[in-house]
Amino acid sequence: MFKKILIANRGEIATRISRACSELGIKSVAIYAEPDRYALHVKKADEAYSLGPDPLLGYLNPHRVVNLAVEAGCDALHPGYGFLSENPKLAEICARRGITFIGPDAETIRIMGDKTLARQAMIDAGIPVIPGTQSSLGSVDEAIAVAGEIGYPVMLKASGGGGGRGIRRCNDEAELRNSYARVISEAEKAFGRSELFLEKYIDRPRHIEVQVLGDAFGNVIHLFERDCSIQRRHQKLIEIAPSPQLDESQRTYIGELAVRAARAVNYRNAGTVEFLLDPEGRFYFMEMNTRLQVEHTVTEQITGIDVVQEQTRIAAGLPLSVSQADVSHRGYAIQFRINAEDPQNNFLPSFGRITRYYSPGGPGVRTDAAIYTGYEIPPYYDSLCAKLTVWALDWDQAVRRARRALNDMGLYGVKSTIPYYLEILNHPDFVQHRLDTTFVERHPELTRYASRRRPEWAAIIAVAIATREGL
């Protein structure tokens, strides 16, 4: 097993990886840009090294990151998610410098990171894909010709896209013409690539993904599925495991599809195969994420398997600790991305100082956070500041527990998505798990909630004590 791992990330995921390292008896090394000097992931790691003053360039410089790993005496590097996690160059540099990359090899990252190459690999493996182009588009006229064949509406997508960016729905030829240059520009800025492809738009699909693990001994398993249908602008907000919308035959089928997809590219380490499920019950491959997912917590809660520790074991050359026959699921888990955003103002990011923070607890409640009272949320990064995951034996109990935990959670000084999630939890479509990817846009009324600001009990107690002492 490794002796020391550099975590090439920040925030809650860096803290999460540090905890896994601690349980495995491995030293963890944090890296930070100047705005993160007082961040929680820096405090939790065994060692921490500065990337310099720039808030982004250090985290995005693979040579600098690997150099730090070498200087710190690390024998492995975990990329987390975001930043360089799906950059094949990082994996290549690690290999050249004798640092084990905790993830798949560079070639797998490259193939699955290119949506057109990934589509072709799945077609070759007999995995159903959404109707669309088999290679990158050469011009807007070619896009219009393909759209005419498969029918509008269509989705125009960046081949190297991810995180909900580089995607545009086009309902007719005029929208496709207007969107083409825009999506190219967005793709170049976000991913450094301009290639686009086209897919048929599926109306009101459910977004179902499967967690897979593969080792160097030919073992590939799945850890069941997650339902990620509650999302806005193609970015996930709430994730559920297992999907309350699938029956057992569908669950078995999609799990087998995901394993076949992973085997088709000789996948090693943790990955996620993402599908769309149309209203007629047909599954279509959408993409494969070659990294740890934000929502891995719900999978861990229903299976009892630590995904980060399995990643580390695989990278160290060990076999999976479990076989497919050993994997079972129990109950339901729901994860809420606690974002510093204002849902009543089009989810505008809300950065600033957290004046008070209270983490919920009790049975079946897990919080993965990067915040604390007095922490200043910097404006340079994603607005995710915590993840709340609840687990219960059945769906109704999980929903009730989620309401209780969100009400227990206190986050003051910035706007957050907490009150919005409470509205969703009380909507009959969510309670009866009638979910699809259009849920958020079809229910704008859920952002028109009344203020639920609760008294800050610590302040009240302080006033009471002061009043008593004055008597």
Q: pTM for this one?
A: 0.92
Given a cut of 50, whether residue 141 has pLDDT beyond it is yes
Strands 76-78 and 4-7: parallel
Q: Residues of the chain with pLDDT > 70: what percent?
A: 95
User: Mutual orientation of helices 11-24 and 307-315 as an angle, nearest 10°?
Assistant: 70
Residue 192 binned pLDDT confidence (cut-offs 50, 70, 90): confident
CA distance 363 to 390: 9
Element (H, E) at 24: helix 11-24
Q: Can you tell me the mean pLDDT for 101-109?
A: 97
- Of 352-361, 390-399, 414-423, 462-471, where does mean pLDDT reach its minimum? 462-471
* Nearest-10 Cα torsion for 394, 400, 405, 408: -160
Q: What sign for the dihedral angle of Cα 286, 290, 291, 292?
A: positive
The whole-number pLDDT of residue 471 equals: 44
The whole-number pLDDT of residue 457 equals: 52
Residue 134 binned pLDDT confidence (cut-offs 50, 70, 90): confident
**Contacts of 116 by beta carbon, 8 Å cutoff, 6+ apart:** 133, 134, 135, 136, 159, 195, 197
Given a cut of 90, whether residue 466 has pLDDT beyond it is no
Q: What is the pLDDT of residues 78-97, one digit of tens each?
A: 999 999 999 999 999 999 99
Taken in order of first residue, the domains within the chain and their CATH numbers are 4-102 (3.40.50.20), 131-200 (3.30.1490.20), 206-447 (3.30.470.20)
Given a cut of 50, whether residue 463 has pLDDT beyond it is no
**How many other CB atoms are there within 10 angstroms of residue 167's CB atom?**
19
**How many other CB atoms are there within 10 angstroms of residue 134's CB atom?**
11
Q: Can you tell me the mean pLDDT for 288-315?
A: 98
Residue 77 in contact with residue 94, Cβ under 8 Å? Answer: yes
CA distance 15 to 28: 10
Q: What is the pLDDT of residues 366-401, one digit of tens each?
A: 999 999 999 999 999 999 999 999 999 999 999 999
Element (H, E) at 285: strand 283-289
Q: What is the pLDDT of residues 318-337, one digit of tens each?
A: 999 999 999 999 999 999 99
Dig out the tokens for 444 from the structure: 């704008």
The whole-number pLDDT of residue 454 equals: 52
Given a cut of 60, whether residue 458 has pLDDT beyond it is no
The whole-number pLDDT of residue 230 equals: 98
In the chain, the amino acid numbered 196 is L
The whole-number pLDDT of residue 455 equals: 47
Q: What is the pLDDT of residues 11-38, one digit of tens each?
A: 999 999 999 999 999 999 999 999 999 9
Q: What is the pLDDT of residues 429-441, one digit of tens each?
A: 999 999 999 999 9
The whole-number pLDDT of residue 191 equals: 82
Contacts 24+ apart (CB under 8 A), 327-331: 327/221, 327/222, 327/223, 327/224, 327/303, 328/303, 329/224, 329/241, 329/242, 329/302, 329/303, 330/302, 330/304, 330/393, 331/301, 331/302, 331/391, 331/392, 331/393, 331/394, 331/398
* Nearest-10 Cα torsion for 168, 172, 178, 182: 10
CA distance 410 to 391: 20
Catalytic residue numbers, as ranges: 291
The whole-number pLDDT of residue 465 equals: 52
Q: Can you tell me the mean pLDDT for 344-354?
A: 96
